[in-house]
Structure formats: structure tokens, C-alpha cells
């Protein structure tokens, strides 16, 4: 099997970038689109898998490097899966996640007045693609089930971390030590399935 020596981590999201760096073996040389001055492509896919493939193939073709991309997001059941593949876009142009979280709370208020007294089931999903190998691309998906917190808690992590409580835990991802989060989350689970390639 072709072992990867160099990889472009195809994300312009700093939170994701540091988490993916941590999940990859130390000896792999890592590159970022930011350093190479490459903007992200438009995410025109209809699923996490499609968008992940769009990013990995785009960055890989631009750089001639093997590229790993992650498309991820938060699905809330009573919102019919929203924000889902639009998780990033709910943060607006400036990727403001206080704003995105406000939007989530507003949508929940609209759906169910007393949602804060109930368990609001949700999950984080991560779809990974590795593109640019001699053989066909590698795909993997990981999920973590949990609940939406009735208030924003914790300053650690990124994105929706302050409102997501994984099943069986009390703390939000925003309150958890990032190293602990990295060992249980959707991204970790997706990585675990493709460990043999890395
Ligand atoms: P790239 O496309 O450049 O990777 P992005 O932020 O636009 O960056 P996505 O399109 O995959 O990435 O959007 C995923 C959004 O879902 C991301 O912006 C976060 O807000 C949220 N998200 C994904 N994983 C998360 C995690 O582990 N913790 C908190 N929020 C997460």
C-alpha cells in the first residue's frame, strides 16, 4: 500500500486544521491552503461526502499534492437536519459562530417554545476524502451523537462546540479540553476507519 509522506490539509478553517494535524501521524509533512495562498472552492454539493470530494480534488489538482479534505457540520433532528451542510454558511461571511449559534437558538425557539426543557438530539458529521493517490480516492464518514445545550457554554474549540453535548457527557465540546474532544468526536471516528492508509 502507498504510504502518504506529504499531505495538503484542504481546509481554510483553523479549528479543523489544528485538529486534523493532531490526528495525522507526526512524520507526515503537512501543508495548508492558507500558506500556499489558495482560496476554497465553492461548495456546490448536496451532501457532506460530495462537498468533501469537491474540496479534496480541487486542492489536489491545484497543487499536485495528495489532499485530505473534511466536510462537516451539525445536524439537529427537530430542525430537519439543519444547519447540516450549511453549518459553515450560518456563520455568515465573517464566519461568526456567535451569530450561527444565535440562529440555531432562534430556529429552535420558532420550532418549539419550551425546547430548553427537553433533550434536543443532534449529531456532528464528518466526511473525509483523500484525493491524489495513484489509486482511487479514499472516503470515510464519522458521526457523534449528542444534544444541544440550552445555553452556550465554554470557550474552547470552534464553531458549534459551545452548544454540543456528546451523549453520555455533561460538558459541551466548548468546555472540554480539546485533546479530549479530539479523541471522541466525528472527525476522530472518520479518521479511525482510514488509519491504515496514513
Ligand atoms: P473548509 O471548507 O475550508 O474546510 P469550513 O469551516 O467552511 O472550512 P465546512 O464547510 O465543512 O468547513 O463547514 C463545517 C462547519 O461545521 C464549520 O464551519 C463548523 O462551524 C462546524 N463544525 C464542523 N466540525 C466541528 C467541530 O468539530 N466542532 C464545532 N463545529 C464544527
159 CB near ligand 1 (under 6 Å): yes
Confidence of residue 198 (pLDDT cuts 50, 70, 90): confident
Q: How far apart are CA 108 and CA 160, in angstroms?
A: 15
The percent of residues above 70 in pLDDT, for the chain, comes to 99
pLDDT, position 21: 95
Note if the pTM is more than 0.85.
yes
Edge-first strand order for the sheet with 164-166 is: 29-31, 6-9, 67-76, 121-131, 138-148, 164-166
In the reported structure, the alpha carbon of residue 16 is separated from the centroid of ligand 1 by a whole-number distance in angstroms of 7
87 CB near ligand 1 (under 6 Å): yes
Q: Ligand 1: which of 9, 44, 72 to mutate, most ligand atoms within 8 Å of CB? A: 72
Confidence of residue 179 (pLDDT cuts 50, 70, 90): very high
Catalytically active residues, by annotation: 71
In the reported structure, the alpha carbon of residue 1 is separated from the centroid of ligand 1 by a whole-number distance in angstroms of 30
Smallest Cα–Cα separation from 56: which of 47, 74, 43, 37?
Answer: 43
Bridge partner residues of 139 (DSSP): 129
Span 97-117, pLDDT tens digits: 999 999 999 999 999 999 999
Atom 28 (ligand 1) nearest CA = 161
Confidence of residue 140 (pLDDT cuts 50, 70, 90): very high
181 CB near ligand 1 (under 6 Å): no
Amino acid at each position: 500500500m502507498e504510504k502518504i509522506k506529504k499531505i495538503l490539509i484542504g481546509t481554510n478553517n483553523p479549528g479543523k486544521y489544528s485538529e486534523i494535524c493532531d490526528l495525522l501521524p507526526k512524520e507526515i509533512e503537512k501543508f495548508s491552503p492558507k500558506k500556499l495562498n489558495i482560496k476554497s472552492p465553492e461548495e456546490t454539493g448536496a451532501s457532506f461526502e460530495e462537498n468533501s470530494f469537491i474540496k479534496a480534488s480541487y486542492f489536489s489538482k491545484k497543487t499536485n499534492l495528495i489532499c485530505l479534505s473534511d466536510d462537516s457540520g451539525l445536524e439537529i433532528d427537530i430542525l430537519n437536519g439543519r444547519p447540516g451542510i450549511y453549518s459553515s454558511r450560518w456563520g455568515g461571511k465573517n464566519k461568526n459562530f456567535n451569530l450561527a449559534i444565535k440562529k440555531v437558538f432562534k430556529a429552535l425557539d420558532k420550532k418549539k417554545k419550551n425546547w430548553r426543557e427537553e433533550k434536543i438530539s443532534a449529531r456532528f458529521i464528518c466526511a473525509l476524502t483523500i484525493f491524489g493517490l495513484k489509486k482511487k480516492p479514499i472516503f470515510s464518514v464519522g458521526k457523534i451523537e449528542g444534544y444541544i445545550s440550552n445555553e452556550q457554554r465554554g470557550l474552547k474549540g470552534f464553531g458549534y462546540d459551545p452548544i454540543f453535548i456528546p451523549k453520555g457527557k455533561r460538558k459541551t465540546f466548548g468546555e472540554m479540553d480539546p485533546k479530549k474532544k479530539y479523541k471522541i468526536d466525528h472527525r476522530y471516528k472518520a479518521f479511525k476507519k482510514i488509519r491504515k492508509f496514513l
